[in-house]
Structures are given as structure tokens and as C-alpha cells.
Amino acid sequence: MELEHIGKNEYELFFGPAHPGSGNFSVKLKVEGEKIISARADPGYLHRGFEKLMEYRLPLQNAVLSDRICILEPLNWNLIHAEAVDELMGIEIPERAKYIRVIMAELSRIQSHIIWYGIISIGTGFDTGFKIAFGYRDYILDLFEMITGGRVYPAGYICPGGVRRDLPQGAEERILKVLEKIEEMLEFERMENPAHLERMKGVGVLKLKDAIRLGATGPVLRGSGMKADVRKDDPYEVYDKLDFEIPVRNEGDAYARYMIGLEEIQQSINIIKQALNDLPDGDFIAKEFKKPKLAMKIPEGEVYVRNEIARGEAGIYMVSDGGTTPYRVKIRGPSFLHMIPVFEYLLKGAEIADVPAIYWSLNICPADLDR
């Protein structure tokens, strides 16, 4: 990291974009000794133009493109895109497809939180946690490969009209076995860890009033004491038929946000078990998409769809002028507000050594911010 002298006792220090803990972003820190006086986030190192790309592609092509909005939880972004197209086209989704969508979205949430645990572990000097996390994540990637044909990218498995194909034979039993493995991993994670306690307890405290003022959502907001979750507040798919809790903590520090992630893994496991138990028979995709024409006209109109993904509230605003491609697409990812106002606010007055713990406690996804 290069230091630039700007005053008697003040220096400018860049965190990233080459720093392994920055996640493809640069943050310009103004420091005095070890203390951060101010911070300025500088995104733009990962720009891929998803919104504009979608305006030149058909909905079935965009189903695959939506994987890339956040590589860490592609199926959740599949779902938001599919719901926007479904609503614009007035398509009735089969009940079985809704349950499968929820199962896959929650599996995606679990593996995303596992990545979060692994990255925050290595960012705080707990290398074993990183190895545990990525080892157990592979069990879920094996499920994705069996069900969708892809591991990291599911190739638009959740698509307009439902899902691309039904659950294969034996999938339900295998999902349950994997969930047993993940619960086994949770036992390791819940053990009191001196490294995590020392590096995250009391660090990066975000009070509830500031979390609301700065636009925080998801685990960041819930870690500061607000019980808010789109799955409960504005249910979609079949979440209103499932019983689950919304974990909340009041400390508002990096450790609280980290613990919210662990508790949400258990809640996602509970959701999946219920969905598998209640999974109805029937079609996995709407009749309009059983033998779809590649270029199907989208009725004129506009829609905004929001979901609760692993990082918080996410949404897609889509406009159609009656053509075969969207006229306008706007993506609202939770990472933007967590990276710009929240991260900058939390760094003021923090120590340089606390930057990785604060940064990764916000669970920022570079791609959904720098889209």
C-alpha cells in the first residue's frame, strides 16, 4: 500500500483494489497514525454493464445473464429477474415451481453465507474457518450441479415461467443429507472463537438510527436491531406458507452481523425442509414456456420486484415497450449502500487493522454494486 503525505501528521492510504481483502474495490483512507480520519470508497474496477446488456437480450437469455449479477448468489438473482418477467407477462406460475424456486433460492442463500463466513474468517486471521467453509460449500455446489447442470453458475435455472427442469430423481433425499452436513458445520462455527471475538466484538458499531438513515438492509440492518425481511414483510413465491424466524441482534458491531449470518443459515435449512415436505406434484414451468419461442413479445408496462437475498433487499425495475426485449432495466443491489455510505461511515475513527473485519462484516458483493 502506498502512503502519500498530505499534512503534518496525516497520510493518504489506499486499501485495494489489489488488496485481497478489498474485493475489487479501492478505498482511499486519510489516516493519522493508525487511526482513520475519513474514507472514500472508489468503485468502478469491476464494471460489466448488466443493465444495458439486458436491454439488448431476450428474457430467456437474460435468465442466464442474471447469474452474473452476483456470482456469490446467482439463483437469488435468477429469481428476481424471473419474477419481473412473469409479472410483466401476466404468467401464472405452477405451485410446484414456486416451491422449487424457494428451495433453490435458500440453498443459494446458505452457500452465500458460508462464503461470507469463510472470507470474514481469513480476513480476521482465522485461516481454518476459511478451509472449513469452502469445504462444506462444495456439498451445495454438488447439488447445484445435479439439479441445474452448473456448479457456480446455474445457467438461469430459475427462469421466466418457473424453473428450467424438474428436480431429478433422488434430489430430495440428497438435499436433506447435505443439510445434515451444513448443520454439522454450524456446530464448528457456533463455537466461541477467540480470533473472531478479538477482531470483531465492539468493532464497526452501527447504531440502528444510523443504519436506517444510511439505507442499510438485510443482515446489516438486522444486526443493528431492526426485524425487517422482505420474505416476511412482503411475501413472494410461497414464503407466506412457511414458518421461519428473522434473526435480530442489537449490538450493531461486526460480530453481531457475522452471527446473524450463522443464524440465517439455520433458518434457511428449516425453510428448505418444510418446502421439501410440502412440495406438491404438477408442472415445473408454466404452459407458455413449455415450448417457448425464443423471441416472445413482452406486453407493454413497467414493474418493480423486490426480494430478500443474502445481502439484504434487492430489486429489479423493468420497463417494456411491447417488444421482445426489455426497454429499460434497473438493478437495485444491497451492496451499493453498504459500500458507499455505510462503510465510509463506519471507517471514520476506526483503526487501519480493523478495515478488513468491518468491510467483510457488511458482506458486500463487488458485482452487484459495480454492475
Residue 25: pLDDT above 60? Answer: yes
Backbone angles phi, psi at 191, to 5 degrees: -65, 140
Mean pLDDT of 15-33: 78
The segment with the largest mean pLDDT, out of 16-20, 28-32, 101-105, is: 101-105
Average pLDDT estimate for 165-176: 96
> Can you tell me the distance from the alpha carbon of 276 to that of 173, in angstroms, rounded to the nearest whole number?
9
C-alpha cell at 50: 448488466
Which DSSP helix (H) or strand (E) runs through 312?
A: strand 312-320
| Dihedral, 244, 113, 194, 362 alpha carbons, nearest 10 | -100
Q: Is the pLDDT of residue 105 over 60?
A: yes
Mean pLDDT across the stretch 2-25? Answer: 70
pLDDT at 192: 67
Burial 179-195 (b: 16+ CB within 10 A, else e): beebeebbeebeeebee
CA distance 60 to 47: 23
When pLDDT is averaged across residues 103-109 and rounded to a whole number, the result is 97
**What are the cell numbers at 326?**
426489455
Per DSSP (E only), the strands in 16-159 are 26-32, 35-42, 158-159
pLDDT reading at 10 higher than 60: yes
Type of residue numbered 172: E
CB 283 within 8 A of CB 97: yes
Least confident of 6-15, 103-112, 358-367: 6-15
The SS3 assignment for 155 reads coil
- Residue 187 pLDDT: 83
Question: CA–CA distance from 294 to each of 54, 287, 291, 300, 324 (Å)?
Answer: 15, 15, 9, 18, 9
Longest Cα separation, the chain: 72
- The whole-angstrom distance between residue 174's C-alpha and the CA centroid of its chain comes to 24
Alpha carbon distance 338, 354 (integer Å): 17
Q: What is the pLDDT of residues 123-154, one digit of tens each?
A: 888 888 889 899 999 999 999 999 999 999 99
**Does the pLDDT at position 107 exceed 90?**
yes
The reported pLDDT for the residue numbered 128 is 85
In one-letter notation, the amino acid at residue 93 is I
pTM for this model (two decimals): 0.93
Instruction: Report pLDDT for 181.
Output: 94
State how far the Cα of 119 lies from the Cα of 163, in Å rounded to an integer: 31
What percentage of the chain carries pLDDT values higher than 70?
A: 95
Work out the mean pLDDT of the chain and round it to a whole number: 91
Q: Residue 17 and residue 8: Cα distance in Å, rounded?
A: 27
Span 209-229, pLDDT tens digits: 999 999 999 999 999 999 999
Which are the contacts of 218, defined by CB distance < 8 A and separation ≥ 6?
308, 309, 310, 311, 312, 313, 334, 363
- The H-assigned helical ranges of 149-193 are 171-190
Q: How far apart are CA 47 and CA 121, in angstroms?
A: 27
* pLDDT tens for each residue of 306-319: 999 999 999 999 99
pLDDT bucket at 292, cuts 50 / 70 / 90: low
* Per-residue pLDDT at 47: 78
Q: Residues 355, 29: contact at Cβ < 8 Å?
A: yes
Q: Which residue has the cell 488488496?
A: 19
- Give dist(CA 223, CA 219) in Å, integer: 6
Going from the N-terminus, what domains does the chain have, and what CATH number goes with each? 3-42 (no CATH), 50-369 (1.10.645.10)
